[in-house]
Amino acid sequence: MSGGRVTAPTTDHKPARAHRAAFILKKALLSAFVALVLFSLMIGIRTEAGPTGQLIYWTRFSELASLVGAVFIGSIIVELMRQWLGPAPTANLIPPPVQNGLALAGRLIAPALLIFTLLVPVIFYQQRYILDLAILVLTYVMLGWGLNVVVGLAGLLDLGYVAFYAVGAYSYALLATTFGLSFWICLPLAGILASLWGVMLGFPVLRLRGDYLAIVTLAFGEIIRLVIVNWQSLTGGPNGISGIPRPTLFGIPLTPADDGLAARLGIEFDPTHRIVFLFYVILALALITNWVTIRLRRLPIGRAWEALREDEVACRALGINTTTTKLTAFATGALFGGFAGAFFATRQGFISPESFTFQESALVLAIVVLGGMGSQLGVALAALALIGGFELFRGLEQYRMLVFGIAMVLLMIWRPRGLIGHRAPTVYLKRAEAISSDLVKEGHG
């Protein structure tokens, strides 16, 4: 790694070039050799339980050879790119007018995106697949914004966010199937229950920091999942809960029945109506999440979250009650997770523990981190990119998670602070230049 950073001399003559070529070749050969050893058994030999249950194996040397070859060529390409591009100069290259243009575009992108999103059901009314995908993306946008409160604002690394999603989903499913309560009554209940679980998780982890906190939340998420799997009498275990009622428009079902919405409005029934309705429900929920978060950031509690993220010790020294600050962050994040879970349950009509694995938590966390930890727009864009990208690879089935993992590693290396990497505090002096140096000297600045 460090060898590639040496800047090439300006006078480029042959021995230097030959030297460089030899260096690249050596590196590529080394990579290919490492790949050969790594893949020798895992790729070169395929095992499978034979017809009698005895394990049999067969060799796949051609696949092994092509993979090693790919690593060799890939290594050369990466090394050449690194030498041509050199250490990447970033912001300085962009001239100020372009920068201003970009800033303007950045301000316009959020409203433009919102208008486009509002129009999605109109534009894509005929394409059911796109509508479904849009609902999925919005669900993750909402989850991302919810987790953003915990991770992005309060700086508490939560690896078990899916637990609250699961609590919300199961709360709605159980309340609706057992007591016949409607979606609109269950939604706040699911949120409150999830939020209570958030506080329950919050209490024990108050003293923990960083990685410890991460692992405890992960364990918490797994505990919730395992309890759901094993508590068969309540949750149906691995079989899940089916027949979860669909949402109604304030009591009016979206069905072809006589009292359905279509019949009342006197229009022909179309199953897409319900999809469009679901789309606007999740859009509204997501926008509420966004609005609440933005408002909270301007309240003392939001300021306290950001202070906590930046420095817990300083935060405590300033007299901020870190206990309530952390608990409210967990509760708020969990509340939105619970809402999203209830929505998920009503959309699917069926839930099982399989939907609430650690992968889900990691995906939402990846959205938040990729979105720049704290940037609302960034989270939305990251959800769009990740879920959309995920859908692109749907055809690859089992390669999907592999590609996702590789993308996660590469993105972290490329942009450790996310796509929209800013973590600017919301409070700052807008006209810093207006303060003259005299004032600063006198201690007024």
Partner 1 sequence: MDYFAQQLINGLVLGSIYGLIAIGYTMVYGIVGMINFAHGDIFMIGGFIALISFLVLVSFGLTAVPVILLIVLLVAMAITALYGWTVERIAYRPLRHSFRLAPMLSAIGMSFVLSNFSQVAQGARVKPVPPIITGGYTLHKGAGGFVVQLSNVQIVVVITTVVLLALFTWLVARTRLGRDMRACEQDQTMAALLGVDVDRTISMTFVIGAALAAVAGMMYLLYYGLVDFYMGFVAGIKAFTAAVLGGIGSLPGAMLGGLAIGLIETLWSAYFSVEYKDVAAFSILIVVLIFMPTGLLGRPEVEKV
Interface ranges with partner 1 (CB under 8 A):
1, 34, 37-43, 45-49, 53-55, 57, 157, 204-205, 207-208, 210-212, 214-216, 218-220, 222-223, 226-227, 229-230, 313-314, 358-359, 362, 365-366, 369, 373, 398-399, 401-402, 404-409, 412-413, 416-417
Tell me the C-alpha distance between 252 and 261, whole Å.
Answer: 6
Q: Which helix (H) or strand (E) covers residue 48, if one does?
A: strand 45-49
Percentage helix, strand, coil, to 5, in the chain?
Answer: 70, 5, 25
Min dist. Cβ of residue 347 to partner 1 (A):
26
CA atoms within 13 Å, Cβ hemisphere of 370: 23
CA gap 193, 273 in Å, rounded: 30
Beta carbons of 76 and 24 less than 8 angstroms apart: yes
Shortest CB 348 distance to partner 1, Å: 24
Q: What is the C-alpha to C-alpha distance for residues 49 and 98, in angstroms, rounded to an integer? A: 61
Closest to partner 1 by CB, 210 vs 425, is 210
Nearest to partner 1 of 273, 309 (CB atom): 309
Give the SS3 label for residue 266: coil
Q: Which is nearer to partner 1, 157 or 282 (CB)?
A: 157
Rounded Cα distance between 304 and 315, Å, is 8
Residue 380 beta carbon to partner 1: minimum distance, rounded to whole angstroms: 19
Return the number of the residue (48 or 438) whose C-beta is nearest partner 1. 48
Which structure tokens are listed for 264? 């009342």
Give the bridge partners for 57, in sequence order. 47
Residue 272 near residue 125 (C-beta atoms within 8 A): yes
Q: How far is the CB of 354 from partner 1 (least distance, A)?
A: 13
Asked if 360 and 221 count as a contact pair (C-beta separation under 8 A), the reply is no
- CA 377 distance to own-chain centroid: 13
- Shortest Cβ 104–partner 1 spacing (Å): 29
- Cβ distance to partner 1 smaller for residue 162 or 254: 162
Query: Least distance from C-beta 188 to partner 1, angstroms?
Result: 29
Handedness of CA 317, 320, 324, 325 (dihedral sign): negative
Position of tokens 């209940």? 189
Q: Which is nearer to partner 1, 402 or 427 (CB)?
A: 402
Q: What are phi and psi of 56, to 5 degrees?
A: -120, 165
* CA 366 distance to own-chain centroid: 4
The least CB distance from residue 261 to partner 1, in Å, is 43
- Closer residue to partner 1, CB minimum distance, 135 or 368: 368
Whole-number minimum distance, CB 356 to partner 1, in Å?
15
DSSP 10-45: SS--HHHHHHHHHHHHHHHHHHHHHHHHHHHHHTTE
Nearer to partner 1, 121 or 155 (CB): 155
For the bound state, the minimum distance from the C-beta of residue 390 to partner 1, rounded and expressed in Å, comes to 12
Give whichever of 265 and 406 is closer to partner 1, judged by the CB atom: 406
Alpha-carbon torsion (69, 70, 76, 79), positive or negative: negative
Residue with Cβ nearer partner 1 (85 or 313):
313
Of the candidates 191, 190, 165, 376, the one whose C-alpha atom is nearest the C-alpha of residue 290 is 376
Measured from the CB of residue 257, what is the shortest distance to partner 1 in angstroms?
A: 42
